Amino acid sequence: MLYRKLYSFDYEEARDVPEAISLLQTHGTEAAVMAGGIGLIEEMKRRAVTPKVVVSLQPIDQLKFLDVSDGNLRIGALSKLSHGEQSNVVKEGFPALWEAIAQISSAQVRNMGTIVGNITACNPGSDVATALVALDASVKIADGNGGKCIPIKSFGVHSRKNILKPGEIVTEIIVPCLAPGAQTAFLNLARTKEDCAKVVVAVNARVTEGVIEDIKIALGAVAPTIVRATTVETMLLGEKPSEGLIQAASERASQENMVTPISDIRSTSQYRSQMVSVLTRRALTRVFQNHMN
C-alpha cells in the first residue's frame, strides 16, 4: 500500500531534561524535538521541516505533571490536551483554559497532542494560547544554562515562529491561579468545532466594589501572534460595567492597532474584524453579568 510516509531520520530518546538539551545542542539546527509528536509529524509529512534527528522527550517522567502548587497551575511539557480536559483542577480553577482545551480538534488529537506543543506551534489562531495570554501565563524554558521564564505573550514572535533557539525546550507553562472574584470567558468562532478558529477571544476580569479593577483581553486569529487589546483594557479599567461601556469597548476592539486580520480560506479580513467586536461584546457581557444593574 502507498502511504504518506516520512523520509528517514535518526531517532533519539532523552531520559531527562539535561540529556534532551545535550542532544539538541549536539545536533543543532538538524534536530527537532518531539513531545506528543502530532504537530511535528504533520510538518514532516508535508516537508515543512526536514530534521535529520528527532529527539523524543516522551520518556522524561519529570515532564509529566499537571497540578497546582504555590498559587500556580503548572503544566508539564508532556501533559496531553486530554489530561487538561480530564482535569478537575483545570475545569474548576481555570474554566476559560478548560473550555479552550476541551473543544480542540478531535479526541484522537487531544490524546496525542500536548498543551505545550500547542503553544510552541505558535498558530496565531490557537485557542489554548489565547486563553493562556488572558490568564497571564508564563513559559519556562530550559537552555542548559540555568533556564528562563518569560511571559507567554512574548513567546510567539510571528505566525508559527517562537523565540526558542536550537538547544532550548519549553519544560512547563505556569498559570497564576485566578484572583478571588475574577471571572473569565473563552469564545471562538469556527466553521465546525474541529476546525481552526476564525476569531478567538479570551477575557479575564475582576470587579471590586462595582469598579473594573483588572482586565485582560486576548485576541487570537486576528494577527501574526496572539495579541492583547490593550487600548480596550485601558478604556475599561476603573469604570463601572454597563451595557453602554461594553458596547463601546467591543466596537473599539476591532479598531486596535494590533488587530490586523488576514483573508484566507476560513474568512475575510472584514468579517474577522466584525467578529472581534461581536465576540468581545459577548465575552465582556459574560464576565460582567453579575456586576450590572
Partner 1 sequence: MKKIEATFIVNGNPYEIYVDSHALLIEVLRDELGCKLNGVHESCGSGDCGACTVLVDGEPILSCMTLAVSVRGKAITTIEGLAKGTELHPLQEAFVSNGAIQCGYCTPGMILSAKGLLDQNPNPSELEVKKALAGNLCRCTGYKKIIDAVLRVSKGGN
Near partner 1 by CB under 8 A, which window of 1-9, 124-132, 232-240, 276-284? Answer: 1-9
**Chain length of the chain:** 293
Nearest distance from C-beta of residue 198 to partner 1, angstroms: 18
Concatenate the DSSP letters of all residues of 189-238 into one string: E-SSTTSPPSEEEEEEEEEETTEEEEEEEEEESSSSS-EE-HHHHHHHTT
In the three-class reduction of DSSP (H, G, I as helix; E, B as strand; rest coil), residue 242 is classed as coil
- Select 45 or 74, whichever has its Cβ closest to partner 1: 45
Candidate segments 42-50, 148-156, 248-256, 270-278, binder of partner 1 by CB under 8 A = 42-50
With binding defined as CB under 8 A, does residue 108 bind partner 1?
A: yes
For residue 217, give the amino acid letter: I
Return the residue of 41, 178, 248, 292 that touches partner 1, per CB under 8 A: 41
**Cα–Cα distance for residue pair 175/177, rounded to 1 Å:** 6
Q: Which is nearer to partner 1, 54 or 63 (CB)?
A: 54
Phi/psi zone of residue 223: left (φ > 0), alpha (ψ -120 to 50 degrees), beta? beta
Q: Beta strand pairing status for 148-151 and 156-158?
A: unpaired
Report if residue 26 touches partner 1, rule: CB under 8 A. no
Grid cell for residue 9 = 531520520
Residue 82 in the binding site for partner 1 (CB under 8 A): yes
Does residue 285 belong to the site contacting partner 1 (CB under 8 A)? no
- Residues interacting with partner 1, by CB under 8 A? 1, 3-11, 34, 37-38, 41-42, 45-46, 54, 56, 58, 82, 105-109, 111-112, 193-194
